[in-house]
Amino acid sequence: VASIASHKIPESVDVVVAPSFVHLSTAIAANTSKCLKIAAQNVYLEGNGAWTGETSVEMLLDMGLSHVIIGHSERRRIMGETNEQSAKKAKRALDKGMTVIFCTGETLDERKANNTMEVNIAQLEALKKEIGESKKLWENVVIAYEPVWSIGTG
């Protein structure tokens, strides 16, 4: 983070780094750039409460974070996170003022079956259904298209 922050980043560009949760505090402390944002890799879909092992939006905000990745392919595949759960997480984070990096993407099997558009549209439709037409909320959504078949875990 310190190395990235030391480079001159144009003010029109936001660079986002998403370290593992245990390294977030170190990354935040090392960040000296206004253009470098630190993001969490996930957030829980409910608020503060007895959710052992989960991290709420409020906790991320307390740490000073402004960005969160939601719907990553590994969360969907390994943890069984649904489009609706991802959308609910996004809505919760957006309502609290965070910027959401919302991941979409299809698996190799879905691609081979010519379902690329169907899969991605379903993921985005779930998000649209949850957050509606609010321009204010959509301004804080970054869509990260990540074809699962093109990455190491795909």
**Edge-to-edge, what's the strand order for the sheet holding 36-40?**
15-17, 36-40, 67-70, 99-104, 141-145
Structure tokens at 98: 């965070």
Provide the 10 A C-beta neighbour count for residue 93: 29
Question: Which residue in this structure is represented by tokens 């069984």?
Answer: 80
Nearest one of 39, 90, 92, 47 to 65, comparing CA atoms: 39
* Active site residues per annotation: 72, 146
Question: Position 94: which residue type?
Answer: L
Provide the 10 A C-beta neighbour count for residue 133: 7
